[in-house]
Amino acid sequence: MTTPPFLARVVRYLTAKAGIRQFLDLGGGLPTGSNVHQVAQQIAPDARVVYVDYDPVVWSHGQALLVHAVGTGIVRGLDDRMAPRPRRRALRPGEFLVRLRRPQALTRAVPGCVIPASSLGSGPTMP
């Protein structure tokens, strides 16, 4: 999935102006074309991007597509249809892409309307 123009502008702004060097991209689909890691790393080669997707096809192909991408990885998330189990590592041993004590940006190109209202708990509800 190619990064939509709006998301690309947001990533460029966060990288160049806000100094963000870590991105978590949720449900972006297959990392092909111009994606978050490519947009961010054009500005800051040290930017780190982790893609999270629960689709097993996206996860499997994403691993193959990103095998040589420095500072980039993909992890398989869980959805309510999958029983909790230990996550398989998508990164090489010892490689931790996200530094929790440093600023991060959470990106999601898919409209928020795909999030079931029941998963929001007592927070705001969607129309």
Q: Any idea which residue has 């500005």 for tokens? A: 43
- pTM, entire model: 0.71
The residues, any chain, with a CB within 8 Å of residue 8's CB and separated by 6 or more, are 34, 39
Please give the distance of CA 83 from its chain centroid, rounded to a whole number. 22
Beta-strand ranges (E) seen in 10-103 are 22-26, 48-53, 72-76
As beta bridge partners, residue 50 has 24, 73
How do residues 89-127 score in pLDDT, each as one tens digit? 444 444 567 777 788 898 887 655 455 556 555 554 444
Q: Any idea which residue has 């999958």 for tokens? A: 82
Give CA angle at 78 (29, 106), nearest 5°. Answer: 55
21-25, 54-58, 119-123: lowest mean pLDDT where?
119-123
14-23, 36-45, 59-68, 82-91: lowest mean pLDDT where?
82-91
User: If you average pLDDT over every residue of the chain, what do you get?
Assistant: 75
Q: Which two tokens stand for residue 60?
A: 């499997």
The residues, any chain, with a CB within 8 Å of residue 84's CB and separated by 6 or more, are 78
Domains recognised in the chain with CATH numbers: 5-111 (3.40.50.150)
